Amino acid sequence: MKKITLTTIKKFIRDNRPNLYIKVKSSFDGMSDMVESIDGAQFKSVVEDTRTSNHTLGIQGAWFVFDSRDHFDAYDKNGFQGYEVYNCCGSFVLAIRK
């Protein structure tokens, strides 16, 4: 299997933008100053992020740290196929329906 890189993720987003789903599994919480799991996380259609930060790659709920600090795994469960992304800011899955 080929190594999954940020380029792989960017191409997956570009090629599947209209059919893309996101499931945010954990995120950084400033009140507790740590990453916390999100109970009952579900897949939702991707919403365009209009902020000027390039760390979201234009996807609301996604956050990329860059500089080789993001980790990627293939995802293929429950009728969805894509990639799981995790870093110091949380974890999420970007996927399409099979």
Does residue 13 lie within any of the structural domains?
A: yes
Prediction pTM value:
0.90
Answer whether residue 27 is part of any domain.
yes
Q: Sign of dihedral through CA atoms 68, 73, 74, 75?
A: negative
Q: Which tens digit of pLDDT belongs to each residue from 34-76?
A: 999 988 899 999 999 887 778 999 999 999 999 889 999 999 9
29 within some domain? yes
**Residue 1 falls inside a structural domain:** no
Q: What's the number of domains the chain is made of?
A: 1
Q: What is the mean pLDDT of residues 80-84?
A: 98
Q: 2-40 pLDDT, tens per residue?
A: 899 999 999 999 999 999 999 999 998 889 999 999 888
Range of the structural domain that residue 42 is part of: 6-97
Asked whether residue 70 is domain-assigned, the answer is yes
d(CA 47, CA 31): 25
The amino acid occupying position 10 is: K
Q: What is the 3-state secondary structure (H, E, C) of 26-74?
A: EEEECCCCEEEECCCCCCEECCECCCCCHHHCCECCCCCCCCCCCEEEE
> Per the domain annotation, does 65 fall within a domain?
yes
